[in-house]
Structure 1
Amino acid sequence: MRILHVTDCFHGGVATAVDQYARMTPQHEHLLLSNNARSSVAAVSRHPGVFAVDEELPVSPLRSIHAIRTAVRTLHPDLVHAHSSFAGLYARTAFLLDRVTPGRHAVPVVYTPHSFAFERADIPAWKRSLFRGMEQILYPLTAVGAPCANREGELMAALGHQLPGQVPVVVVPNVLLADHPTVPGSWSPSTPHIVGVVSRVTPQRDPAFFAATARLIRAARPDTRFVWIGDDDGKDPTLSAVLADARVEVTGWLTGEKLQRRIAELSVVIHTAAWDGFPMAVLEVRRIGVPLLVRDIPALRECPASARFSTPEEAAAKAVAILDAGADPTRWESLDQSHTPEIQRTRLGEVYDLAVGR
């Protein structure tokens, strides 16, 4: 098959996932229509030879929809795989227009939200309701839902409740491939202790939560340092200021060996996301072996209960216990075993076969 991948946020975990989906299914020909409009960082480099076609997705929604329709007409894909909420809107709108336009061929759309927009906690309730309503309207135009985590799958299935017809939903878990630059078991904590976050500095990752947690840990263990491995996206510099006020170092964007070295020297990683799909950062930290704590949000209920926290006070208490013990008390085997390349490859095969009616 020829599979056209479409995304308006080809960076971070989404870029990693799209690249992996293509590499995990080399029996198909993969095409890419993408942009990085929602981030100020440089475009992500591609693995050579992964995408037979690599074109720019326009920033304008109307032009994006037109570009998808043009790509379907000229490149003749067997299906479109949309990644992110907005790409899902563009691809399914393009599908609908092609279906009602005489002489045009509409190809099925596979949809992976990588975190639904209506889950965002940084927007008003009316806007979340609007996003949810749009997802419900678009849902019947989806050939197959391919969420990246169990929680996302539950949300997707709920969109189809009481709607005519049934859209199959197959969870395709995020994974790390064997050649990912993270080195298994390379954890080598620095002295004095460093507690950190690995993420972009965005409202989704809740810098204020980490700042509050850092202050509590510092009160109990004054020699502890704090670092946020990442940078803001250029949209809200006040978020980095919140971290600076709590004496949290923000490293800026790091890649490759430098990034892996900074993660490996952490004593504890605290993942503070207020909402999420299923973050690649969790898998990267797990592979390196750094003790990990995650916020108790629905998307991360796959993680063991002993590693989850709800408040800065709870996060700080668990982090201090790990600092004192020098080890992670949580057993992560169940999570590790449910996010393997073999499972992802099998699920992707199922998704693509379902999409074309096999």
Structure 2
Amino acid sequence: MHQSATDPRPRVLHVTQPVEGGVARVVADLTRAQLADGLRVTVACPDGELGGILRRSGADVRHWPATRAPGPSLTGEVRRLRRLVADVRPDLVHAHSAKAGLAGRIAVRGRIPTVFQPHAWSFAAVGGPAAALATRWERFGTRWAHRTVCVSEAERRTGLRAGIDARWAVVPNGIDTRRFRPAAGAAARASLGPGVDPHAPLVVCVGRLCRQKGQDVLLAAWPSVLRRVPGARLVLVGDGPGRDRLRAPAPVRFAGAVADPAPWYQAADLVVLPSRWEGMALAPLEAMACGRPVVTTDVDGARESLPAGLAPHCLVPPEDPAALADAVAALLLDPPLRDSLGHRARRHVLAAHDVRHTAGAVAEVYRALLGTGTAGPAASTEYRESIHS
């Protein structure tokens, strides 16, 4: 441990490559909670909006240039991260997602307590030889992680099936339920400007435009939805590398990246996320916190994120446009059911997925590794740990 002689508070170094999307939101929320609880927090990340958000929150932000995918740049990224660790002298390193998890574990090699959080496994994003290589790395790299934090039990089971012999902790994702809250749909639509029809059934999909999030599957399903619900409107909120490849039938709107997706959730009659893989997606949690029903694919974390009894209405198989269209149309045609599901969803998120619960559970992981009582407040939700040595 490298605690200062004059400041006994632990210093946590978060390492992240994504500076947008769900991973960035998790890092930002954790950082704010940890600063409020008295930890010293440094975040290493590439340039982007995340750095500005964290600096305004009071975090020490260090520039760590890194590409999203592994490649020839990895050697330099590891070298720069090793120098950064030596300068910051953290008591604990928390590496987020595949790329930062790869570089962080190689740079630290277990010399400092290390937490790795995959936020969906790297081998799920690729196929063939690349998937085999990613799986071999995860099996090997686990020796340099003192805890592997999964955001759902399903994500942990996926790791186990892949042969990853880790020291596990399961900490479900949480969101800021004060920021994501119900609001009148008419008022929310009015706040979005004249481009949103105040009367049309509105479906919203929030997520990075990429293969993982499956917007192409939703677009393939949309003509079938329109045949059953004429006049329905679909809005895709977000940006990403898949934007130019998506072909949208009318009437579909691309809203682009937004600073705050909450008004879009609040304006929606239904929120859809047709992901191909996840650990536990944030968008459905955010939508449910806004009192909106969701339709999502039955990937890792989806069932665990839903209230009991919602699965028959809200879960569909991945990459199945027909099943997706059936579920979306059925809910658009049943306003009382939508209202009931939305109310149940909000209560569930308040009870099980408030970000304060998540921060408390992560603090328990830190305390177990640091052997101190100063890693944050006692967890306000159950902390589940499973050791496989």
TM norm structure 2: 0.78
Structure 1 residue 69: Cα displacement: 1.3
* Match runs of 1:132-147 below 5 Å: 132-147=135-150
Structure 1 residue 44: Cα displacement: 5.8
Is 1:239 the equivalent of 2:268?
A: no
Q: Matches of 1:175 and 1:248 in 2, distance apart?
A: 30
Q: Matches of 1:45 and 1:324 in 2, distance apart?
A: 43
Q: How many residue pairs were aligned? A: 333
Query: Which AA in structure 2 matches 1:254?
Result: V
Q: Matches of 2:137 and 2:250 in 1, distance apart?
A: 39
Match of 1:116 in 2: 121
Question: Which segments of 5 or more consecutive residues in structure 1 lack a partner in the other structure?
Answer: 100-105
Is 1:349 the equivalent of 2:372?
A: no
Query: Which AA in structure 1 matches 2:171?
Result: V
Match of 1:173 in 2: 172
Match of 1:308 in 2: 315
Query: Is the 2:149–2:168 contact (alpha carbons within 8 Å) kept by the matching residues of 1?
Result: yes
Post-superposition CA distance 1:311-358 (Å, at most 9, x none): 322222222222222142544355653212343133112211222345
Query: Is the 2:31–2:59 contact (alpha carbons within 8 Å) kept by the matching residues of 1?
Result: no
Query: Is the 1:151–1:298 contact (alpha carbons within 8 Å) kept by the matching residues of 2?
Result: yes
**Counterpart pick for 2:353 among 320, 339, 358:** 339
Closer, same or farther: CA 44–218 of 1 in aligned 2, 3 Å: farther
Query: Is the 2:204–2:235 contact (alpha carbons within 8 Å) kept by the matching residues of 1?
Result: yes
Match of 2:84 in 1: 71
Closer, same or farther: CA 160–313 of 1 in aligned 2, 3 Å: closer
Match of 2:204 in 1: 196
Is 1:33 the equivalent of 2:44?
A: yes
**Counterpart pick for 1:321 among 297, 314, 330:** 330
SS in 1 for 2:82: helix
Post-superposition CA distance 1:130-166 (Å, at most 9, x none): 11110001011111111222222223455666x5xxx
Closer, same or farther: CA 339–237 of 1 in aligned 2, 3 Å: closer
Closer, same or farther: CA 246–133 of 1 in aligned 2, 3 Å: farther
Is 1:21 the equivalent of 2:30?
A: yes
Structure 1 residue 27: Cα displacement: 2.5
Match of 2:377 in 1: none
**Counterpart pick for 1:153 among 150, 156, 159:** 156
SS in 2 for 1:130: helix
SS in 2 for 1:46: helix
Post-superposition CA distance 1:264-300 (Å, at most 9, x none): 2222111111111212211111111122111122331
Q: Matches of 1:247 and 1:187 in 2, distance apart?
A: 20
Is 1:263 the equivalent of 2:269?
A: no
Query: Which AA in structure 1 matches 2:138?
Result: E
Query: Is the 1:139–1:160 contact (alpha carbons within 8 Å) kept by the matching residues of 2?
Result: no
Is 1:9 the equivalent of 2:18?
A: yes
Match of 2:378 in 1: none
Structure 1 residue 261: Cα displacement: 2.6
Provide the alpha-carbon RMSD of the alignment.
Answer: 2.3
Structure 1 residue 251: Cα displacement: 0.8
Match of 1:102 in 2: none
Match of 2:112 in 1: 107
Structure 1 residue 196: Cα displacement: 2.2
**Counterpart pick for 1:183 among 181, 184, 191:** 181
* Match runs of 1:291-302 below 5 Å: 291-302=293-304
Query: Is the 1:156–1:169 contact (alpha carbons within 8 Å) kept by the matching residues of 2?
Result: no
Query: Which AA in structure 2 matches 1:215?
Result: P
SS in 2 for 1:45: helix
Match of 1:278 in 2: 280
Query: Is the 1:32–1:53 contact (alpha carbons within 8 Å) kept by the matching residues of 2?
Result: yes
Closer, same or farther: CA 341–42 of 1 in aligned 2, 3 Å: closer
Query: Is the 2:117–2:148 contact (alpha carbons within 8 Å) kept by the matching residues of 1?
Result: yes
Closer, same or farther: CA 237–23 of 1 in aligned 2, 3 Å: closer
Q: Matches of 2:18 and 2:278 in 1, distance apart?
A: 15
Q: Which moved more, 1:296-305 or 1:107-116?
A: 296-305
Query: Which AA in structure 1 matches 2:43?
Result: L
**Counterpart pick for 2:258 among 250, 254, 261:** 254
Q: Matches of 1:192 and 1:58 in 2, distance apart?
A: 44
Match of 2:69 in 1: none
Query: Which AA in structure 2 matches 1:305?
Result: A
Query: Is the 1:110–1:144 contact (alpha carbons within 8 Å) kept by the matching residues of 2?
Result: yes
